[in-house]
Amino acid sequence: MSMRAVPFYCPYCAEQSIEPIGEGRVYYCASCDRRFEVRFAGLGEEES
Higher per-residue confidence, 4 vs 11: 11
Say if 46 falls within a structural domain. no
Say if 6 falls within a structural domain. yes
| Secondary structure class of 27 (helix, strand, coil) | strand
Q: Say whether pLDDT at 1 is over 60.
A: no
Say if 33 falls within a structural domain. yes
DSSP state for residue 46 in the 8-state scheme: P
Per-residue model confidence as pLDDT tens digits over 29-47:
999 999 999 887 788 887 7
Range of the domain at 10: 1-38
Per-residue model confidence as pLDDT tens digits over 9-33:
999 999 999 999 988 789 999 999 9
Say if 44 falls within a structural domain. no
Q: Say whether pLDDT at 3 is over 70.
A: no
- Provide the pLDDT for residue 40: 79
Q: What share of the chain is helix, strand, coil (3-state, %, to 5)?
A: 0, 25, 75
Cβ-contact 23, 30 below 8 angstroms? no
Say if 27 falls within a structural domain. yes
Tally the domains of the chain: 1
